[in-house]
Amino acid sequence: MKERLLAYNKRKWQLLFACCLLLLVLMVVSLCLGSSGIPLSDTMQAILARLLPGFFPVVNETNYNIVWQLRLPRIFLAVIAGAGLSVSGTVMQALTRNPLVSPFTVGISNAAAFGASLAILLGASLFGASQAAISAGAFICAVLCAVFVYFISNRKNGSTVRLILIGTAMTYLFSAMTNTIQYIINDEKLSSVLHWTFGSFSKATPSQALFLFGLLFVVMVIFMKNSWVLDAMSSGSDDVVKTLGIDVNKKRIILGLITVFLTACIISMCGVIGFVGIVGPHMARIATGAEHKFLIPFSAFTGGLLILVSDTAGRILFSPIVMPVGIVVAYVGVPIFLHLILSKKEMYFK
Amino acid sequence: MNLSVENVSFHYKTNQVLKNVSLCGTSGEVIGILGPNGTGKTTLFKCIGRILDKYSGEIRIDGKSILDLSKNELAKTIAFVPQDTSVSFAIDVYHAILLGRTPYVRLGATERDLEIAQQAAMMMGLEKLAFQNIAEISGGERQRVFIARAIAQEPKIMILDEPTSALDLKYQISTMKMVRKIAEEKNILVIIAMHDLNLASRFTDRILLMKNGVIVSDGTPGEVLNEKTIQDVYDVDIGVQYMGEIPHIYIK
C-alpha cells in the first residue's frame, strides 16, 4: 500500500512537471500569434536577445517590441490571473465543502464591477492615471463585500450554507447597483463600464504581471503549507474536522480572506473573468484527485491554461478585432464544464 | 487512562439537553450509550470531544480538564467517528485514513504516518479498497474507513456515534466485533452510541441508559437491560430473556 502510494505520488509530480513544460510551450506559441503573426524562429530570437544579449542580437526591432512590450506582459498576466483565480476557487471549494463555489460566489465579482462602475461614473476613464482609480474602486468594493459576507455569515455559529446564501444575496445587490449606474450613466462612460466588466488583458503591464506573480507565489506557498488542513476540511463536517485538532473557524477565515485578497487583486487589474474559478479546480481534480498537495499546483496549471487558450483565441479568431477574455472564456469553459457534469467524471467532485 | 464526566449539563438556547450527566470509564472498556432519539447522546459525545465547549460541570482525562488541553493534544487523546460519513470531495480510502494522522503531521505524512495508516487499514480489512474512491464504496465500508481513520489517530478514547445505524445485520455484527477488538488490542476506552439493545447487550461491558438528558441506569448489560427500565425509558412493551448472563430483548 505504502509503496503504491509513493509510486502514485511520484507519477503525479512527473505529470505536473510535464504540464508546466506544456504551458511554457503554449506560451511561446501564443507569443507568435496575433493580428501580426511572428514566426517561431523570430519569436525565439527576440526572447533570447533580451535574456542573452551577448549571444543573440536584436534582428527585428518591431518583432522584439511586440514580443516584449505587448504580448509577453499580456500572456504572462493571463496565465498568472488564470492560475490565481483557479487556485482561489480550489481553496474556496475546500473551505466550504461545496464544489460549485468559487471566489465569485461570495459576491466579489459583482462588487468589483460596481466599484469600477462607480469610479467611471465619478470621472475615471479606462486610460491613463484614472485606470488606477478604477482598479482601486474595484479592489476596495471586492474586499469590503467579501469581508462583510465572511463576518456576517460567521456570526453565531455560522455555516458554509449561510456564507453561500449571503454571498448570493450580495451578488444580486451589487448587480442591481451596477445596473443602476449603467442605466443613468452617459453612453461614453457606459462603453467604459461594459468594457471593464468583460475582462481583458489588453492593458497589461510588466509591473502588473510581476506584482501578481509575486503575490501568487506567496499565496501558493501558504496554501501548500495548509494542503493537509484543506484535505481534512474538505473531507468531512466541521465537527469531525475539529476532532482532528484543526481550528476550523480560524483556518476558514484566514485562508478565505487570502483567497479574497488574491481574487480582488486579479480582477481589479484584469476586470471580471468568471468561470475559471469553478472549471479550473474541477479539471485539476479529474487529472489528479482531491489531494490538495497536488490539486493546488494542478489547478494553477488548468486555470492558467484555460485563460491562455481563451485569450489567444480572442486575439486571433476575429483579428484584427480582439475579443475580451471574459467573453471567450465562457465559450471555452462552458463546454468543458458541461462535459464534466454529464460524464462519469463528476464522481470526482461528489 | 481514566475518563470522568462530572455533573455535565448543556443547553441549546432554552432547551436543556444534558442534565447533570456523570460517567466514568477506563482503558480497554467498551461502554454503550443507549436511549431514545433526541435524548442527548450526540450532545454528550460532542461535549466529551470538545466540539461543544460551553457546558457546565467537568470532563477530565486522567484528572486533567479537557478544556486545559490544546486542540492537538485533545485530538491525540480522543478520536470521533461520526454517524454521517458522507464526503463532499472524493479521495482515496488510504488518504482518508491518513487524515487520522492530522494531529501528528506538520507539513506532510512521514514514513511512520504511512505505516500507521496502512496498519489501521489492514486491521479494518481495507487493503483491497485502499486506492478506491471513497465515494464509490458502500456505506458499511465507508464506516470502516472512518473507524480506521480513528485508529490511525492513535487515541486513548474512541467515540462512535451510532456506527451501526445504517448497516445490515452482517456489517452491524462485524463492526461491533471490530470495536471490541480495537478496545482490547489497542487498550483504549470505546464509548459507543447505539439503538440496538441486543447488539449492545452482546458487545459492551457497560451500558448507560439515557432519557431526557439524564442517565437513568448505569451498569452491566445484565443489570441495566431489564423489562421495567426499558419500558420506562422507551415506553414500549417488551420482554427480556437471558442467555447465560446476557439479556436478550424481544417484542411482546
CB contact under 8 A, A225 and B107: yes
What domains can be seen in chain A, in order of their start residue? Answer: 79-349 (1.10.3470.10)
Say if A1 is an interface residue toward chain B (CB within 8 Å).
Answer: yes
What are the CA-CA distances from residue A1 to residues A10, B98, B115, B174 (Å)?
Answer: 14, 12, 9, 23
pLDDT > 50? residue A348 = no
Provide the shortest C-alpha distance from residue B193 to chain A (in Å): 16
pLDDT in tens, B112-141: 999 999 999 998 889 899 888 888 888 888
The residue of B46, B54, B66, B89 whose CB has the most chain A CBs within 10 angstroms, and thus the best one to mutate to test that interface, is: B89
Say if B52 is an interface residue toward chain A (CB within 8 Å).
Answer: no
Residues 200-239 of B with CB under 8 A from A: none
Contact of B216 with B224, CB cutoff 8 Å? no
* Nearby residues of A129 by Cβ (< 8 Å), 6 or more positions away: none
pLDDT at A345: 53
Length of chain A: 350
**CATH for B2-84+154-251, options being 2.60.40.420, 3.40.50.300, 2.40.50.180, 3.90.1150.10:** 3.40.50.300
Q: Which of A242, A342, A321, A122 lies closest to B72 in space, CA to CA?
A: A242
From its phi and psi, is residue B244 left (phi > 0), alpha (psi between -120 and 50) or beta? left
Average pLDDT of the residues in A317-333? 86
pLDDT in tens, A124-149: 665 555 677 888 888 899 889 988 88
From chain B, pick out residues whose CB is under 8 angstroms from the CB of A164. none
Nearest CB among A4, A94, A239 relative to B51 is that of A239
What are the CA-CA distances from residue A327 to residues A210, A299, A313, A332, B175 (Å)?
Answer: 25, 21, 11, 9, 54
- Say how far apart CA A313 and CA A30 lie, in whole Å: 9
CB contact under 8 A, B80 and A8: no
Q: What are phi and psi of B209, to 5 degrees?
A: -100, 125
Provide the shortest C-alpha distance from residue A173 to chain B (in Å): 29
- Say how far apart CA B169 and CA B189 lie, in whole Å: 24
Average pLDDT over chain A, rounded to an integer = 86
From chain A, pick out residues whose CB is under 8 angstroms from the CB of B135. 347, 350
Neighbour tally for A265: CB within 10 Å: 23
pLDDT at A245: 92
pLDDT at B67: 93
Nearest CB among B78, B87, B88 relative to A98 is that of B88
pLDDT > 90? residue A324 = no
From chain A, pick out residues whose CB is under 8 angstroms from the CB of B99. 228, 231-232, 235, 244
CB contact under 8 A, B107 and A228: yes
Nearest CB among B46, B51, B94 relative to A1 is that of B94
Which chain A residue lies closest to B83 (C-alpha atoms)? A240
CB contact under 8 A, A242 and B94: no
pLDDT in tens, B79-124: 999 888 877 787 889 999 999 999 998 878 899 999 999 999 998 8
Say if B51 is an interface residue toward chain A (CB within 8 Å).
Answer: yes
CB contact under 8 A, A242 and B51: yes
Q: Is B238 helix (H, G, I), strand (E, B) or coil?
A: strand
Nearest CB among B79, B114, B127 relative to A5 is that of B114
CB contact under 8 A, A2 and B76: no
pLDDT at A350: 38
3-state SS of chain A is CHHHHHHHHHHHHHHHHHHHHHHHHHHHHHHHCCCCCCCHHHHHHHHHHHHCCCCCCCCCHHHHHHHHHHHHHHHHHHHHHHHHHHHHHHHHHHHHCCCCCCHHHHCHHHHHHHHHHHHHHCCCCCCCCHHHHHHHHHHHHHHHHHHHHHHHHCCCCCCHHHHHHHHHHHHHHHHHHHHHHHHHCCHHHHHHHHHHHHCCCCCCCHHHHHHHHHHHHHHHHHHHHCHHHHHHHHHCCHHHHHCCCCCHHHHHHHHHHHHHHHHHHHHHHHCCCCCHHHHHHHHHHHHHCCCHHHHHHHHHHHHHHHHHHHHHHHHHCCCCCCCCHHHHHHHHHHHHHHHHHHCHHHHHHC
- Which range of A59-63, B110-114, B248-252 scores highest in mean pLDDT? It is B110-114
Length of chain B: 252
CB contact under 8 A, A247 and B92: no
Half-sphere exposure of residue B142: CA atoms within 13 angstroms, side-chain side: 19
CB contact under 8 A, B102 and A228: yes
- Say how far apart CA A336 and CA A310 lie, in whole Å: 13
pLDDT in tens, A192-228: 888 788 888 888 888 889 999 999 999 999 999 999 9
Domain edges within chain B: 2-84+154-251
Return the percentage of chain B with pLDDT > 70, whole number. 100
CB contact under 8 A, A285 and B89: yes
Say if A168 is an interface residue toward chain B (CB within 8 Å).
Answer: no
Provide the shortest C-alpha distance from residue A109 to chain B (in Å): 25
Provide the shortest C-alpha distance from residue A83 to chain B (in Å): 21
CB contact under 8 A, A242 and B107: no
Lowest mean pLDDT among A184-198, A248-262, B103-117, B225-239: A184-198
Cell digits for A153?
A: 455569515
Average pLDDT over chain B, rounded to an integer = 91
Nearest CB among A1, A237, A247 relative to B127 is that of A1
CB contact under 8 A, A350 and B91: no
pLDDT at A94: 92
- Say how far apart CA B11 and CA A281 lie, in whole Å: 41
CB contact under 8 A, B82 and A239: yes
pLDDT at A91: 95
Say if A157 is an interface residue toward chain B (CB within 8 Å).
Answer: no
Task: Give exposure, B85-101, as e/b (b: 16+ Cβ within 10 Å).
Answer: bebbbbbbbbbbbbbbb
pLDDT > 50? residue A188 = yes
